[in-house]
């Protein structure tokens, strides 16, 4: 119940902003509920590589509000549906190659784009404050909007956690009640809505004859899809943390499954002509508060979503909500979204580079959104549609700046070897060259060599235990960045996560067996060890701290 309002209201905001007819809105709401239920079930049951195997509730994505509204206004539901279908394919590509893009789609890019989503949507919501029927007096809209905002804000600020979770729903009900005396709530629409049915006649179809609007809006949809994917990555990481009885390292294969299920939801949303969905971060909070992580609960939630989709009377109660109430609720939602983006950036740590990226990308995006940056040069064609969306223009700036920082960093030295008997000697020679070039002291060099030796011993141990025949390939890259030397080992393993093995050492007997010696030594020599497991590839990052010798 805490999720169902967001699923419907996200669609409602998009279609109301774009001025779409009620018949189109009814179909979009039905499709959103149906697809959210299917995607939630997929997340729980995990079919092949689709789904996380955890309770990750799926619902309408707030990140798509701005671009979907723009597509509806430019070309109608058919254009929006086509853009959603095409952009969803990028999510599958991201899931398949998640390990490749981990250095570009950083928290800085994610947080900046989320802040830009808020900056793009808020002016649209402000315009909805006065969207009322002609017979409504001048005081009706302000009163209804203020009541909704005040109630939601008061509950968020002072209510206990058990009540705070219901604050959006309570605020919307309060706003609707305040709107009734002014004749703003459309009871007639609710009365005329059937109890059971499907508004299939309003399905918009697709338009795969791309014109200027399609190509101009496609980059925006791709960027938002990737932003939504990054949010799903965060949820996929967090849900593992709260759903397991014993803490474990993040399994990025679970994250890839969550992304694939998200992609299926977006693809189905495009085929059905509704707003794409995404994982709801409140799934993590609910799992943590209730202590419930059973897959059966996720399946039950999805079934309930699907059942409600076939009862238009329930959807009509939400569709009839007056625009000022939606604007008031949406304003609180979007401001929290803005702070969430800001929090993502801050938690990653701020230095002068990240500050420049966030500041420039955000304000350039705001400038283009408000058409104050050389509007005459953009004209009315492709560039005007592409850069006229502040989220797209700001995201392009952020990605380009992050890519420049990454490309201008000191280049890593690389070594490719087979995990055989010659690998330790070749790795030792390689790391000596890295340490010499970085001018590290003999003590730091020895620790780096020891950490590398123990890492490759662990990798070879798993190789011996789990494989036969030809040894697997190993790619090692290393570089010095300030006082830290970072070594990255890339291969494919089937065993347990090295981080988990290291964290369990404290529970093991004081006298280890032979297989645990390398783990204990690695924990001693390395400053940190991070093991990221993806489908078909493992990335082990080992860092050793130690400043360079004085010149």
The pair phi, psi for residue 529, each rounded to 5°, is -135, 130
User: Does 507 score more than 80 pLDDT?
Assistant: no
Distance CA 214, CA 370 (A): 22
Q: For residue range 234-290, what is the model confidence (pLDDT) as tens digits?
A: 677 778 877 777 766 667 788 889 999 999 999 999 998 899 988 876 677 667 656
- What's the pLDDT score for residue 360? 93
CA atoms within 13 A on the CB side of 440: 28
Distance CA 196, CA 211 (A): 38
CA atoms within 13 A on the CB side of 380: 1
Q: For residue range 329-338, what is the model confidence (pLDDT) as tens digits?
A: 777 777 776 8
Pairing of strands 277-279, 58-60: antiparallel
Percent of the chain topping pLDDT 90: 10
Fold adopted by 413-545: Heat Shock Protein 90 (3.30.565)
Range picked from 41-45, 375-379, 516-520 for highest mean pLDDT: 41-45
For residue 482, what are its two tokens?
Answer: 């300030």
Parse the chain into domains and list their residue ranges. Answer: 4-406, 413-545
| Per-residue H/E/C for 160-225 | CHHHHCCHHHHHHHHHHHHHHHHCCCCHHHHHHCCCCCCCHHHCCCCCCCCCHHHHHHHHHHHHHH
Pair 543, 437: CB distance under 8 Å: no
- What's the pLDDT score for residue 115? 81
Q: For residue range 166-212, what is the model confidence (pLDDT) as tens digits?
A: 777 788 889 888 888 888 887 887 887 788 877 666 666 666 677 77
CA nearest 475: which of 51, 48, 99, 80?
99
Q: With H, G, I as helix, E, B as strand and everything else as coil, classify residue 364.
A: helix
Stretch 453-459: mean pLDDT: 87
Distance CA 12, CA 15 (A): 5
User: Does 513 score more than 60 pLDDT?
Assistant: no
Tokens 């890259």 locate to 477
Distance CA 33, CA 389 (A): 28
- What's the pLDDT score for residue 261? 93
Distance CA 21, CA 19 (A): 7
- What's the pLDDT score for residue 36? 93
β-strand partners of 109: none
Distance CA 279, CA 55 (A): 10
DSSP code of 514?
G
Pair 444, 476: CB distance under 8 Å: no
Total residue length of the chain: 551
Of the pLDDT bands very low, low, confident and very high (cuts 50, 70, 90), residue 299 is: very high
């Amino acid at each position: 119940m805490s999720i169902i309002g967001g699923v419907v209201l996200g669609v409602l905001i998009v279609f109301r902003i774009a001025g779409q007819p009620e018949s189109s809105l009814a179909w979009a709401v039905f499709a959103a509920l149906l697809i959210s239920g299917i995607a939630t079930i997929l997340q729980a049951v995990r079919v092949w590589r689709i789904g996380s195997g955890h309770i990750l509730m799926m619902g309408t994505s707030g990140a798509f509000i701005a671009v979907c509204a723009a597509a509806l206004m430019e070309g109608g539901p058919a254009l929006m549906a086509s853009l959603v279908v095409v952009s969803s394919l990028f999510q599958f590509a991201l899931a398949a190659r998640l390990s490749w893009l981990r250095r570009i789609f950083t928290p800085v890019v994610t947080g900046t784009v989320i802040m830009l989503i808020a900056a793009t949507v808020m002016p649209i919501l402000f315009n909805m404050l006065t969207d009322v029927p002609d017979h409504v007096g001048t005081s009706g809209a302000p009163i209804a909007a203020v009541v909704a905002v005040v109630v939601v804000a008061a509950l968020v600020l002072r209510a206990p956690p058990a009540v705070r979770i219901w604050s959006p729903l309570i605020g919307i009900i309060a706003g609707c009640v305040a709107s009734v005396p002014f004749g703003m709530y459309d009871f007639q629409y609710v009365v005329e809505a059937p109890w059971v049915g499907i508004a299939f006649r309003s399905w918009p179809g697709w338009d795969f004859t791309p014109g200027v609007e399609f190509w101009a809006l496609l980059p925006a949809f791709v960027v938002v899809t990737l932003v939504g994917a990054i949010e799903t990555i965060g949820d996929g990481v967090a849900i593992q943390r709260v759903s397991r009885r014993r803490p474990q390292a993040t399994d990025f294969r679970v994250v890839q499954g969550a992304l694939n299920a998200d992609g299926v939801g977006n693809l189905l949303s495009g085929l059905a002509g509704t707003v794409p969905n995404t994982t709801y971060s409140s799934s993590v909070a609910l799992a943590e508060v209730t202590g419930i992580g059973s897959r059966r609960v996720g399946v039950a939630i999805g079934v309930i979503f699907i059942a409600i989709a076939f009862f238009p009377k329930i959807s009509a109660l939400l569709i009839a909500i007056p625009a000022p109430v939606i604007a008031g609720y949406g304003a609180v939602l979007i401001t929290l979204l803005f702070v969430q983006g800001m929090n993502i950036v801050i938690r990653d740590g701020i230095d002068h580079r990240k500050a420049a990226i966030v500041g420039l990308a955000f304000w350039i995006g705001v400038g283009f959104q408000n058409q104050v940056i050389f509007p005459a040069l953009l004209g009315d064609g492709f560039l005007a549609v592409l850069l006229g969306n502040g989220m797209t223009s700001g995201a392009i700036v952020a990605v380009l700046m992050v890519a420049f920082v990454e490309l201008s960093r000191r280049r890593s030295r690389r070594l490719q070897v087979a995990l055989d008997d010659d690998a330790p000697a070749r790795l030792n020679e390689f790391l000596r060259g890295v340490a010499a070039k970085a001018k590290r002291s003999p003590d730091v060099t020895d620790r780096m060599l020891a950490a590398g030796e123990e890492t490759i011993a662990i990798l070879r141990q798993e190789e011996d235990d789990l494989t036969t025949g030809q040894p697997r390939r190993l790619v090692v890259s290393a570089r010095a960045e300030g006082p830290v030397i970072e070594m990255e080992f890339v291969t494919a393993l089937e065993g347990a996560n090295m981080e988990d093995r290291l964290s369990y050492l404290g529970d093991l007997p004081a006298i280890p067996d032979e297989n645990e010696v390398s783990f204990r030594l690695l924990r001693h020599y390395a400053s940190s060890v991070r093991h990221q497991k993806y489908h078909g590839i493992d990335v082990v990052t080992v860092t050793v701290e130690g400043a360079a010798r004085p010149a």
